[in-house]
Amino acid sequence: MERLEEINAPVIKEVRGRGLLIGVELRTRVAPFLKALQAEGVLALPAGLNVLRFLPPAIITREQIDRVVEATARVLANPS
């Protein structure tokens, strides 16, 4: 969650969560970002119209977390 909070993207309004359940509230609709993340190999879910929801398995590795955070940073920093 700390690494997601460090992403410098104006589209991010707030990052919140508990345990592995993390939500990234956006200032815009989430649908285009979900598609872009899927193209990067990251599966995320919507939580309402403007929240990206990450719910990884308890057995996720540090390497997988790094890949998700990097892909999320790319997608949110460069909205198309």
Predicted confidence band of residue 17 (pLDDT cuts 50, 70, 90) = very high
Residue of 52, 58, 59 lying closest to 4 (CA atoms): 52
- Please tell me the total count of domains within the chain: 1
Task: Print the domain residue range for 58.
Answer: 2-77
Backbone angles phi, psi at 20, to 5 degrees: -90, -10
3-state secondary structure of 20: coil
**Length of the chain as a residue count:** 80
As a whole number of angstroms, the distance between CA 31 and CA 38 comes to 11
Q: How many CA atoms lie within 13 A of 59 on its CB side?
A: 0
The domain that contains 48 carries what CATH number?
3.90.1150.10
Q: For 58-72, how does the pLDDT look when each residue is reduced to its tens digit (9 = 90+)?
A: 999 999 999 999 999
At 52 the pLDDT is 97
| pTM for the structure as a whole | 0.91
- What's the pLDDT tens digit per position in 40-53? 999 999 999 999 99
Query: What local confidence, expressed as pLDDT, does residue 80 receive?
Result: 64
| Structural tokens at position 21 | 């359940």
